[in-house]
Amino acid sequence: MPRKFELCALIVLVSLASTTFADQITLKNGDRLTGTVVKSDGKVLVLHTDAAGDVTIKFDEITQITTAEELYVSLKDGKTAVGPVTTTDGKIEIATKSGGTVEASKDDVKQIRNDAEQTAYDKTLHPGLMQGWNGGVNVGFSVARGNSQTENLALAFNAAHPTLNDKITLYASTLYTKNDLASPTDVANLETGGLRYDRNLKPRLFVYAGADFMSNALQFLDLRAVYGGGFGYHAVKSDNTTLDLLGGLNYTHETYSNGPLVSSPPPVYASYGVTNKFAALTLGEELTHKHGGTVITQNMYFFPNLQDTGEYRATFNLGTVTKLGKWLGWQNQFSDIYVSNPPSGAKQNDLILTTGLNFSFTH
């Protein structure tokens, strides 16, 4: 009997200890849940339980929280308190080690994270250069046979490496169209690429520097290299919508070397050998909006020549990606490239519409 009594007492003590050292959530209807608080965004709270896994609870349905372990509580005034959490009369109390007890109303809570969630969050703020990338690859392809014999291939790649204070952006694209019944057979060949670095100075103000490159056979452009920088302003910055305004200076170096076909056959091109070097303004806006499962991106840039007033370039891009699966989407892209002074025989405007699949990635 004594041994059985000791065993029962031990079981009771272990049960009480596991309950004592677990986090407890009390709801308005009187239900009490026991587990480990994982995180909260002020709207819902995630509690990990042994029996049901992660349980999501509406934050305004909670009347009492008692935790055994430290939590990181971020408040709307920008402060963060660390310590075990209890609630009293609709207020949250964080028993910090150094600053005593910090009180705040439930409405002032912005984020709650346990130690593991906080560590993961800190890594997203300051990821290494090989971590924290996200982006996608667009693929579009078409073939026509019969009265026409054409192949069209459109490829695009974009990647971004955002942190708390800066962002690196990379992009590249190519559009290739071939018509076997035409002479020459290559009727369109457009290649673009570039990179940009943004650095926040204030919550809405940032500086940027970057380089853009373009080769456009439709306008007889062998290569245009643009190096520039300036200031940007986050006019709108929310979870679903961002709108940035840009202004700065750039140096442009462009070479037009191939002109229109002057004799056939065989194909012969007139060589312009024209190289332009000039300084220009950079004025632009960039918009990103998430609506349901679709991401809409739009940007427009205007580059007036400072050395030859009246000459300018302008670009407009509008794209959508609709999510079809975890990493698969359907993409559409419209572009307008305008040059005020193209070579003789080339048009000022190029309108380009592509569609196909998008393969997204995160690393």
Residue 3 pLDDT class (50, 70, 90 cuts): low
Q: Which long-range contacts does 130-133 make (Cβ < 8 Å, 24+ apart)?
A: 130/363, 131/363, 132/161, 132/162, 132/163, 132/363, 133/159, 133/160, 133/161, 133/361, 133/362, 133/363
Residue owning tokens 């975890």: 326
Q: What is the mean pLDDT of the chain?
A: 85
**Does the pLDDT of residue 15 top 60, yes or no?**
no
pLDDT tens for each residue of 79-102: 889 999 998 777 889 998 887 888
The pLDDT of residue 147 is: 62
Whole-number Å distance between alpha carbons of 66 and 37: 9
Q: Give CA separation, 361 vs 40, 87, 153, 319, in Å.
A: 26, 41, 22, 18
The pLDDT of residue 107 is: 85
**Does the pLDDT of residue 128 top 80, yes or no?**
no
The pLDDT of residue 13 is: 42
**Highest mean pLDDT of the ranges 6-10, 212-216, 255-259:** 212-216
Average confidence (pLDDT) over 48-67: 90
Q: Which residue has the higher pLDDT, 218 or 49?
A: 49
> Into which CATH architecture does domain 134-362 fall?
Beta Barrel (2.40)
Residue 145 pLDDT class (50, 70, 90 cuts): low
The pLDDT of residue 119 is: 85
Average confidence (pLDDT) over 306-335: 94
Least confident of 62-71, 108-117, 154-163, 184-193: 184-193
- Domain range annotation of the chain: 22-125, 134-362
Give the E-state strand segments of 16-118 in sequence order.
23-27, 32-40, 44-49, 53-58, 62-66, 71-75, 80-83, 85-88, 91-95, 101-105, 109-113
The pLDDT of residue 21 is: 58
What DSSP letter does each residue of 349-362 carry, written as one string? EEEEEEEEEEEEEE
pLDDT tens for each residue of 62-82: 989 999 889 999 998 888 899
Residue 334 pLDDT class (50, 70, 90 cuts): very high
Whole-number Å distance between alpha carbons of 129 and 161: 8
**Highest mean pLDDT of the ranges 28-32, 220-224, 258-262, 298-302:** 298-302
Average confidence (pLDDT) over 47-66: 90
Count H helices and E strands in the chain, helices first. 2, 23
**Does the pLDDT of residue 213 top 60, yes or no?**
yes
Least confident of 5-19, 98-112, 160-174, 223-237: 5-19
Residue 2 pLDDT class (50, 70, 90 cuts): low
**Does the pLDDT of residue 264 top 70, yes or no?**
no
The pLDDT of residue 274 is: 82
